Amino acid sequence: MYTFFVFLIILMLINESKLICPVWIGEAGHNYNIKERFDAVRKDSNKLTVTHVHSRSKSSEKDDIYDYTLTFCGDEGTNAVLQEDTSKNKKSIGKIDNSSILVGGEDILLLMYHHGDPYHSNGHCNGISRNAWVILRCEDQGEKPVFKVVEEGRYKGILPTDTPCYYLFEYNHPGACSNFVKPIKLSPGAIFCIIFIGIAAAYLVFGIIYKRFVLGAKGFEQIPNFAFWRKVGNASADGCDFVCRRQEEVSAYKGMTNALDIESNDREIDEGLLPM
């Protein structure tokens, strides 16, 4: 029994490694954990199905009802999105192959599957292949994940080169949410301060260790270059006292009252000099 379970696990790992998934494209420094978030959604629900009604513009015609089945990853050439009508007619909206791509950002992912069944050459989209675009939206409000059809973008006549035809789907899932923390960019001044503090800390720590255990210093003498830093501290204190605590200079001239230590006031002296 134990051997059977081991064999089953190995078989599952082999099958998992053979699965083809959309290829993530983007900058390595700004990936927002896109691959991990996609894997979280896929492993929770690799296959989804939704029933959608395509409303006709003319009231005389009946609405078209389709079932859409989405498979995130699978074997090469299998259907990523399969459309099936009420008569069991099936059309491929997109294939799982190496052209499938995965892009995204914070709290949103986008899957693009190509090479589906072509449109009619004399009908919509000038006979090009169908494409499926799947938006994986972050669901952080506690709602139940829902797979739905948003729209089908198709055109008649000659298709402009910059106008694609596509089926757009949306699936809200908590796994699509990003816990990505934007990196804080340090300014040159901050980098300089960090380097300076690191060098100063290393100088102090290794200097104390050397003077204590090698030279046998005690007390303040353990501080490296203690005499120099004491002079720097005294000079800094003198400079601070000169700038911030300036006092009025004492006059070198001493009058008679100062010599005799007599108290006087300027008003009495001035009154004695006034004419009678």
pLDDT computed for residue 137 by the predictor: 92
Residue 46 lies in a domain: yes
pLDDT tens digits, residue range 102-147?
998 888 999 999 999 988 777 678 788 899 999 999 988 878 889 9
Residue 127, SS3? helix
Amino acid at 192: F
What pLDDT, on a 0 to 100 scale, did the predictor assign at position 168?
94
pLDDT surpasses 70 at 258:
no
User: Is 256 within the bounds of a domain?
Assistant: no
Answer yes or no: is 261 within a domain: no
Contacts of 100 (CB under 8 A, 6+ apart): 20, 21, 22, 23, 80, 94, 111, 112, 113, 114
Between 157 and 124, the more confident residue is 124
Q: What SS3 class is residue 12?
A: helix
Q: Are residues 43 and 85 in the same domain?
A: yes
Dist. CA 72–CA 37, nearest whole Å: 13
Q: Considering the domain boundaries, does residue 97 fall inside one?
A: yes
Alpha-carbon span 173 to 171, nearest angstrom:
6
- For residues 115 and 208, state if they share a domain: no
Q: Is the pLDDT of residue 5 over 60?
A: no
Statement: residue 179 has pLDDT above 80: no
Domain count, the chain: 2
Does residue 8 form part of some domain? no
Question: Domain check: are 88 and 196 in the same one?
Answer: no
Band of the pLDDT at 90, cuts 50, 70, 90? Answer: very high
Q: Is residue 47 part of a domain?
A: yes
Q: Is the domain of 132 the same as that of 29?
A: yes
Nearest-CA neighbor of 173 among 151, 134, 142? 142
Proportion of the chain above pLDDT 70, given as a percent: 71
pLDDT tens sequence across 38-82: 998 998 888 888 888 876 555 546 778 899 999 999 998 899 999
Mean pLDDT of the chain: 78
Residues 58, 113 within the same domain? yes
**For residues 244-254, average pLDDT:** 61
167 domain residue, yes or no: yes
Helix (H) or strand (E) holding 232: helix 226-244
191-207: pLDDT as tens digits: 999 999 999 999 888 88
**How much is the CA Rg of the chain, to the nearest whole Å?**
41
Residues 111 and 170 in one domain: yes
Residues in the chain: 276
Q: Which residues pair with 64 in a beta bridge?
A: 54
CATH number for position 130: 2.70.130.10
In a domain, 257, yes or no: no
Same domain assignment for residues 144 and 224: no
- Domain membership of residue 231 as a residue range: 188-244
Question: C-alpha distances in angstroms, 147 versus 62, 103, 134?
Answer: 24, 19, 10
